[in-house]
Amino acid sequence: MSTNTNGSQKRKPKNPIKFKLQLTEEQKLGKAIILDNKITVVTGKAGSSKTFLCCNVALDLLFTKQIEKIVIMRPMVGTEDIGHLPGDINDKMQPWMTPIIENMYDLYDKTKIEKEIVEGRIRILPLQFTQGVTFRNSAVIVDEAQNCTKEQLKMILTRTGIDSKIMIAGDPQQIQIRRKSDSGLSKLIDVAERIDKLALIHLTSNYRDPIVEQIIDEYDN
């Protein structure tokens, strides 16, 4: 094992992993930007591969042993209290996290990903549990971030620790919280250029059926 500057041990890096789906040129450029920055905001319309790209980066870092874990977060629009739901945290959050996990299955071996989940190296963390947490040696994915409040995103971003990547994915045009002005994603985009090692990526391609792009255009006009 090698040791980083703060004295903690890091796993020895492995060779690049082989994904089932290859990135497009737009996605490759986005991945390079994410790897070159501490925090990256990834925006784009529905179907532009925001979550897919973040999952690719996170899995690559995990399986090449450049990080120790992946942390997944997603706002739960319409409910904050999950205590009444059956099961452990993974069970309670499963309905909200399915899109992210399915992206991971599309990218890489399902059995290996499930093993990482069981052993705690791919973790689901409810937003309300982030207070007091520091993300060290981690790839953090915040999906559907347009539905995070300013306070929630600030709390997540100020948890950034040593050797971590924070990926904030969302679409400012799909805000579902009661007051759109409360969206933390919109605020983060506004201040991004004043923060070092925080990058913005806007994806423009549609990776779903062509009808999706037509529907978006009609609803937005």
Higher pLDDT, 209 or 39: 39
H-helix or E-strand spanning residue 117: helix 110-118
> CA-to-CA distance for 153 and 146, rounded, in angstroms?
10
Residue 148 pLDDT greater than 80, yes or no: yes
Average pLDDT over residues 144-170: 92
pLDDT in tens, 78-109: 555 555 555 555 555 566 678 889 999 999 99
CA 83 to each of CA 80, 127, 128, 200: distance values in angstroms, whole numbers, following the listed order: 9, 14, 12, 35
Percent of the chain at pLDDT > 70 equals 81
Indicate the class that CATH gives domain 23-220. Answer: alpha beta
pLDDT reported for residue 90: 58
C-alpha pair distances (Å), 166 with each of 21, 43, 60, 70: 23, 14, 14, 10
Residue 8: pLDDT above 50? no
Which token pair is 59? 């899995």
Enter the pTM of the model.
0.83
In this prediction, residues 27-50 reach a mean pLDDT of: 95
- Return the higher-pLDDT residue of 86 and 44: 44
- 208-221 residue pLDDT tens: 777 777 776 766 66
